């Protein structure tokens, strides 16, 4: 079991156990095949929904479990230890679209969209980035124009996780006009469903890692969106997206810690078995030092993440902590999986052993939901805003 410096309650341990047992039974036996085939197993959504894992932080009045952030992250790490692709699906759904509807949605939107999402009947996605708007998210170009009781949307969204399978997508689009551009304040958020006329799923990316999580482009061509699908206030969509990414980055940190924890476990087990020069390689200090450093960095990442989660639940401003937690955890995952391959030697470089996939899965945690460079910018800006 992963070391937790934060004391967990009996309920948190129970949910952690449930996540672990589910992942061992339903995910781990298939992970290598799903990775090889870039296959997303659709039945996972219903099964995770039945456990309540798609409504973990949604209050019971909206059919969720009403759990705190730390409990959610502990469960997410357990899933990520065995399959980071399934973990990102859970992270995006729980941290971004559901939280956005909960926080800024109308009662009608909560009834129609949030409740089925919490029950695991409908999967959520988040569409902010575009082919030419990545780190500079406020430069997005998808345009929404009001036409009677509809908005008409045109544009392309990129890097949408779970995009082929999602039923409810929160998409950010410009609602300012070409002769009155308002920058970040000219962007609004919309609740999009695939049944809208003009909605098309585009190219599915052929990725290095997280291959069992479908990442796609979405095309909106004169897509007519009923006016009551606007989320919250007009012109506030970018702010909502940024505030939600403060939550989302905690989920990605938990995913990255799961990857690093898996690298540690596999490396420690292999080092105890593998013999060279007449003894198990764990007897050599060169290997001991690597294992010690991985263990220390994983524990430090987990401590920062758990501290950030409890700060969030106390209602504290946590933009900088969320950026730090994601930055520390994702760089730990990349570093730990690199060390793991070194410990495995040639066997680490082949697909027969699990650390090769961990290494490929780790990389994107330094890129999505804000690159490591963006996290450093966010942390540095916060230093001067105190």
**16: phi then psi, degrees, rounded to nearest 5:** -60, -45
Distance set, CA 212 to CA 37, 162, 206, 298, 351 (Å): 8, 9, 10, 24, 15
Q: Is 159 in the site for ligand CAA (CB under 6 A)?
A: yes
Q: Is 95 in the site for ligand CAA (CB under 6 A)?
A: no
Listed in order, strand segments (DSSP E) in 240-309 are: 275-276, 279-280
Q: What angle do CA 131, 143, 134 make, to 5 degrees?
A: 25
Whole-number minimum distance, CB 135 to ligand CAA, in Å?
Answer: 5
Q: Answer positive or negative: Cα dihedral of 359, 362, 368, 372.
A: negative
Check if 107 is active-site. no
Whole-number minimum distance, CB 250 to ligand CAA, in Å?
Answer: 12
Of 10, 41, 369, 382, catalytic: 369
Task: By CB under 6 A, name the one of 4, 38, 239, 291 that touches ligand CAA.
Answer: 239
Tokens read off for 56: 């973990």
Task: Report the distance separating Cα 151 and Cα 227, nearest Å.
Answer: 6
Task: By CB under 6 A, name the one of 238, 321, 344, 359 that touches ligand CAA.
Answer: 238
Q: Is 161 in the site for ligand CAA (CB under 6 A)?
A: yes
Contact (CB, 8 A) for 297 and 335: yes
Contact (CB, 8 A) for 190 and 104: no
Q: Which of 112, 155, 138 is closest to 245 using CA atoms? A: 138
Q: Is 374 in the site for ligand CAA (CB under 6 A)?
A: yes
- Cβ neighbours around 119 below 10 Å, total: 18
Whole-number minimum distance, CB 152 to ligand CAA, in Å?
Answer: 24
Q: Is 242 in the site for ligand CAA (CB under 6 A)?
A: yes
Q: Is 185 in the site for ligand CAA (CB under 6 A)?
A: yes
Task: By CB under 6 A, name the one of 4, 28, 38, 138 that touches ligand CAA.
Answer: 138
297 membership: H or E segment, kind and range: helix 285-313
The owner of tokens 């997303």 is: 40
Task: By CB under 6 A, name the one of 61, 135, 177, 276 that touches ligand CAA.
Answer: 135
Q: Is 372 in the site for ligand CAA (CB under 6 A)?
A: no
Contact (CB, 8 A) for 334 and 366: yes
Whole-number minimum distance, CB 271 to ligand CAA, in Å?
Answer: 33
Task: Report the distance separating Cα 162 and Cα 89, nearest Å.
Answer: 6
Task: By CB under 6 A, name the one of 95, 129, 175, 188 that touches ligand CAA.
Answer: 129
- Applying the rule CB under 6 A, the residues between 251 and 310 that interact with ligand CAA are none
Task: Report the distance separating Cα 232 and Cα 239, nearest Å.
Answer: 11
Q: Which is nearer to ligand CAA, 106 or 319 (CB)?
A: 319
Using the contact rule CB under 6 A, the part of the chain among 68-76, 186-194, 351-359, 366-374 near ligand CAA is: 366-374
The owner of tokens 């969209």 is: 113
Whole-number minimum distance, CB 296 to ligand CAA, in Å?
Answer: 28
Using the contact rule CB under 6 A, the part of the chain among 46-54, 121-129, 168-176, 354-362 near ligand CAA is: 121-129
Listed in order, strand segments (DSSP E) in the chain are: 124-127, 143-147, 150-161, 168-174, 187-192, 199-204, 215-226, 230-231, 275-276, 279-280
Whole-number minimum distance, CB 180 to ligand CAA, in Å?
Answer: 15
Whole-number minimum distance, CB 217 to ligand CAA, in Å?
Answer: 12
Task: By CB under 6 A, name the one of 22, 62, 104, 126 that touches ligand CAA.
Answer: 126
What is the contact surface with ligand CAA in residues (CB under 6 A)? 92, 126, 128-129, 135, 137-138, 159, 161, 184-185, 238-239, 242-243, 245-246, 319, 368-370, 374, 377-378
Tell me the catalytic residues. Answer: 369
């Amino acid at each position: 079991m992963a070391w937790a410096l934060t004391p967990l309650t009996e309920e948190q341990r129970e949910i952690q156990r449930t996540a672990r047992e589910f992942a061992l039974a339903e995910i781990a036996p298939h992970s290598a095949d799903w990775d090889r085939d870039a296959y997303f197993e659709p039945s996972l959504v219903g099964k995770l929904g039945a456990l309540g894992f798609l409504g973990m932080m949604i209050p019971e009045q909206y059919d969720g479990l009403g759990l705190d952030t730390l409990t959610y992250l502990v469960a997410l790490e357990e899933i990520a230890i065995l399959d980071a692709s399934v973990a990102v699906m859970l992270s995006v759904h729980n941290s971004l679209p559901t939280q956005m509807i909960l926080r800024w949605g109308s009662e009608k939107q909560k009834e129609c969209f949030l409740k089925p999402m919490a029950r695991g009947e409908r999967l959520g996605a988040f569409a902010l980035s575009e082919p030419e708007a990545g780190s500079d998210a406020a430069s997005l170009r998808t345009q929404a124009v009001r036409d009677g009781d509809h908005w008409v949307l045109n544009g392309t969204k990129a890097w949408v996780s779970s995009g082929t399978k999602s039923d409810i997508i929160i998409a950010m689009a410009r609602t300012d006009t070409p002769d009155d551009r308002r920058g970040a304040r000219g962007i609004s958020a919309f609740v999009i469903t695939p049944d809208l006329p003009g909605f098309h799923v585009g190219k599915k990316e052929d990725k290095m890692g997280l291959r069992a999580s479908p990442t796609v482009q979405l095309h909106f061509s004169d897509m007519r969106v009923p006016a009551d699908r606007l989320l919250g206030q007009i012109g506030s969509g970018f702010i909502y997206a940024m505030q939600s990414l403060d939550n989302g980055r905690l989920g990605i940190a938990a995913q990255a810690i799961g990857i690093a924890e898996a690298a540690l476990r596999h490396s420690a087990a292999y080092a105890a078995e593998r013999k060279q020069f007449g003894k198990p390689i764990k007897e050599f200090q060169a290997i001991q030092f690597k294992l010690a450093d991985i263990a220390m960095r994983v524990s430090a990442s987990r401590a920062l993440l758990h501290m950030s989660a409890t700060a969030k639940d106390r209602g504290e401003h946590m933009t900088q902590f969320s950026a730090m937690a994601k930055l520390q955890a994702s760089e730990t995952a990349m570093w730990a999986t690199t060390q793991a391959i070194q410990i495995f030697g040639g066997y680490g470089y082949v697909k027969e052993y699990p650390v090769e996939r961990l290494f490929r899965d780790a990389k994107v945690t330094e890129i999505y939901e804000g690159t490591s460079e963006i996290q450093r910018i966010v942390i540095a800006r916060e230093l001067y805003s105190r």
